[in-house]
Amino acid sequence: MKKFTFIFAGLALLASAAFTSCEKTPAPSADEGTKSIALSINFGGVATKAVDEDLEAGFVAGDNYTSLQIYFTDDAGNIKYAYNATENNANDGTAAGEIWDNLASAANSKGVKFIGLDAVSGVYVTANAPLSSGIITYGGAVSKPVAVSAINELLKIENIDATEANAMPYAGACIQLQPLGSTQISADAGEVVVGDGADGAEYWKAELSIRPVVSRFEVSKVGVKTSGTTYFKEVDNEGVKVLEPCDDTDPNVKYKVEWNGFDADLIGIYMSNFYKSSPLFPNKTEIKDWTAVLFATPGFAEGVSPIAEGKWTGLSDDQKGISYADYNNGYQDFTTAHAGTTSGTTNYLFDGGSDASAVVVPFNFFVPYSLTDRSATADDVANLGAACPALHFQFKKPENPTINYTSVQYKTSDNWQAVADNNLKQQLQNAVAWPNSTDGIAYANVTKFLNQDKLTELTVKPGLIYKVQEVVVEPVNLSVSTKDTDQFNVYVVVKVVGFDERNVYPVFD
């Protein structure tokens, strides 16, 4: 029986999402001979905490992860040994206590020796992740070998609750071991003995990084523009001239409508186009594996809304962190406690604030990446074609809408003139009126985001927090559908914080 010794080097609690990972140079098979293996793990601290029932405090960097899971696998990718250590195991004298006491403290990271592991060639690590219920046993050798891909079943969007989880889940892996030669292992390291504890004759190392398995949108401010001017151009749609909103600087601008008195009730915010689970394990991620679990943005089917009573009809009832609405025999304004004020021409329906007590509407989402990626920053992580989630802002028509159209004009070669044709005038006014729906509900949809240059489209990366700073909606941005055409595009600013800080800009669809 072949046996190995695993030694965990100290943790470095860093403010970065990506660190040195598994060496890329292939090493001899870990199943050849008896070896001791030194494993080092690098953490990036991040946590979130819940406040206010549905809403929560924004992203806060820190080191308050609460659990660490370690999985040792054979060449076939089957879990041979599994350990779970939590802060409750501190100083309890158990194997889990040794792991926690000697790994989870930045001030006391002496490492842990795992002595006597048989036929192990890979190491997978998660932190703050859900545990398997009955499939994987923890505390040493598993009762029945199970494929490491079983961890994917634990990483489902409903298991990562944006409103109640107190720490972000992490994951990383190393499946190629490197020789250490005569390197000495610290005598101060903790020790976990497995089986008869036979020591290995040769030392090997495995270096890995763990990064958050999710990224995150945080909505902090939503408002409606109470007055303004909307510009239009004519575009050809299969031989038919149609109106399309445009910027006033567009060389093809032809009409404009000046309006005031617009208002709306914010009754819900929803996420779509996200991965329902995270097929990160084993780390041979292919985008085809992810598309199978994609909740694509649904539209209206035969006039029936994909959202009913504040939830997506195509998902299970548990939609915390996916759908935010207050429905009780009718929609209520779920942001009443955080309603803002009117500033200039903007009426803020939700304002989470900007001080220490600020709250956000949070949405966690998975981004595919290779668990052994050794990139130094999130920007350098290989792009596996990750889908970018969409956000849907749900509004209800006020009981007594007062929108007025003060001017409807067309552009001549040198100035603007009033539109005299009543049919055309009505058509332009209808383009900035409340959408015609029987229940008075309409949506403003964000389906893509732009980088700081406001020109290139954002590619989402793992372990980043995308803060939606301010969403301001105009009448022309509203639609009865959750899935629209480009004529409903709206731009809002997003700031990225956490591991890599920069600004990006989302686009309403």
Structure tokens at 479: 């639609």
Contacts of 331 (CB under 8 A, 6+ apart): 265, 267, 268, 310, 325, 394, 396, 441
Each of the 509 residues of the chain gets a pLDDT tens digit; together they read: 333 344 444 333 222 333 333 444 444 444 554 455 555 555 543 333 333 345 665 555 445 578 889 898 888 899 999 999 998 988 888 889 888 887 765 445 566 777 777 888 888 888 888 888 788 999 999 998 899 998 988 888 877 765 544 567 888 888 886 666 544 556 676 677 776 655 554 566 767 777 788 888 888 889 999 999 999 998 887 778 888 888 899 999 999 999 999 999 999 999 999 998 888 888 666 677 788 889 999 988 888 899 999 999 999 878 888 999 989 889 988 776 677 778 889 999 998 887 767 888 888 898 888 888 767 677 777 777 788 899 999 999 988 888 999 999 999 988 999 999 999 999 999 989 998 888 899 999 988 777 767 777 778 888 788 887 788 899 999 988 888 655 554 555 555 655 443 334 444 43
Q: Is the dihedral of CA 173, 175, 178, 184 positive or negative?
A: positive
Can you name the residues that pair with 314 across neighbouring β-strands? none
Can you name the residues that pair with 363 across neighbouring β-strands? 217
Q: What's the pTM value of the predicted model, to 2 decimals?
A: 0.82
Alpha-carbon distances, residue 235 vs 105, 215, 245, 351, 398 (angstroms): 62, 38, 10, 37, 32
Contacts of 46 (CB under 8 A, 6+ apart): 59, 60, 61, 62, 167, 168, 212, 463, 498, 499
Distance CA 491, CA 468 (A): 11
Structure tokens at 483: 């899935």
Beta strand 346-351 with 221-225 is: antiparallel
